[in-house]
Amino acid sequence: MRLPILLSLLATLCISGNALAAEATKTPSAAQTAQRQKMTDCNQQATTQSLKGDERKTFMSHCLKAETQTNDKALSTQQNKMKSCNADAAKKELKGDARKTFMSECLKKAA
């Protein structure tokens, strides 16, 4: 008597569990979709270059990081200061201690 009740209860749980699992699928977010696209693009590039093993891992790492860095990061104010002072020092063709002194003065002025 208990066995048929137990089997029907078990069958009901299995059927309802499958129905709930089918409804639980989520659509990927925009960020996830973008990441998948980056992975696909970098993977195709690595395949066309016939990269394998460690070379492929390194390439994939750089490929994925390069796209995120260029999109997410702009130069900070300190980096802009360094860039302009470095360009000025290069125009004046300064080397060694003269360059160090110039860079120090330039960065202090810009602050």
pLDDT at 2: 77
pLDDT in tens, 5-14: 877 777 777 7
Tokens of 9: 């209860």
Which pLDDT belongs to residue 109?
80
Angle at 64 between CA 61 and CA 70, to 5 degrees: 125
Output the pLDDT for position 36: 87
Spell out the residues 6+ positions from residue 28 whose beta carbon is closer than 8 angstroms to its own.
Answer: 36
pLDDT in tens, 57-92: 888 888 888 754 444 455 677 788 888 888 899 899
Question: For residue range 44-55, what is the model confidence (pLDDT) as tens digits?
Answer: 888 888 888 888
Q: Are 67 and 38 in contact (CB under 8 A)?
A: yes
For residue 97, name the pLDDT band (cuts at 50, 70, 90): very high
Question: Average per-residue pLDDT in the chain?
Answer: 79
**Which residue would you say has higher pLDDT here, 28 or 20?**
28
Question: What pLDDT is attached to residue 71?
Answer: 43
